[in-house]
Amino acid sequence: MHFEKVSWKELGPLAWQTIEEVGGLLLVTQGKRNSTPNVMTIGWVLFGTVWGRPEIAVFVRPSRFTHVLLEEQPAFTVNIPSPSLSRAVEECGKRSGRDTDKFALCGLTPLYLEGFPVPSIVECIASIQCVVVEKSHVESDSLLPSIREMYYPQDDYHTIYFGEVQAAWKHTK
Ligand SMILES: Cc1cc2nc3c(=O)[nH]c(=O)nc-3n(C[C@H](O)[C@H](O)[C@H](O)COP(=O)(O)O)c2cc1C
């Protein structure tokens, strides 16, 4: 198993296609040093250049354990699963790291690449390492009412974490 560095731009279209075909991407976070990493399925993610930097924005509701971990350590990896990981995508999208080690449950292997404090996932096609440079909150008052009604009946407004891409990796055999 080997990962090689690639341009993050190459992975944007692949990520988009994977969300459509596999159902989501796998967001990994880790709290304090020596704690267990956690993985959660995400479907809402933006790729682009902001503040002159390559950025990935992820939308995380405050109720997620991932939110607690991101507040503890503002860094994450976005991992692109192959279709064979569709069960992991499903499980990581309904179980919480508060009471389940999802890496163990889904047979996923964490891999720390180049000393980054949050691991990538060995079984994924690709992984992008990001450090949070800004966080914003979805504001009830600025939302289109139809979106508010559809997505926030419990007022669980997302925090948007903008992560500056540090490196992008592709799995080679
Ligand atoms: C396909 C899919 C996409 C999801 N996308 C998001 C998302 O973008 N943001 C979010 O906060 N939750 C999203 N979720 C829900 C979380 O993955 C789910 O609540 C998870 O159990 C949270 O895990 P955690 O408590 O370990 O962080 C999604 C779930 C699925 C099945």
Q: pLDDT for 120-162, tens place per residue?
A: 999 999 999 999 999 999 999 999 999 999 999 999 999 999 9
| DSSP tag of 70 | H
Q: What does each C-alpha distance from 54 to 22, 26, 90, 155, 163 come to in angstroms? A: 25, 19, 29, 31, 8
Which protein residues are within 6 Å of ligand 1, measured from CB? 23-24, 38, 40-44, 59-61, 64-66, 93-98
Residue having the nearest C-alpha atom to atom 7 of ligand 1: 42
Residue having the nearest C-alpha atom to atom 5 of ligand 1: 42
Residue having the nearest C-alpha atom to atom 31 of ligand 1: 93
Q: pLDDT for 24-50, tens place per residue?
A: 999 999 998 678 999 999 999 999 999
| DSSP tag of 37 | P
Q: Which residues contact 124 (CB under 8 A, 6 or more apart)?
A: 26, 79, 80, 81, 82, 85, 171
CA dist 69 and 118 (Å) reads 11
Q: Model confidence at 1, in pLDDT bands (50, 70, 90)? A: low
CATH topology of domain 2-172: Pnp Oxidase; Chain A (2.30.110)
Q: How many residues does the chain have?
A: 173
Q: How far is the CA of 92 from the centre of ligand 1 (A)?
A: 7
H or E element, residue 172? strand 159-172
Check if the beta carbon of residue 127 is closer than 8 Å to that of residue 121.
yes
3-state helix, strand, coil in the chain (%, to 5): 25, 40, 35
Give this prediction's pTM.
0.97
Q: Which two tokens stand for residue 103?
A: 């890496």
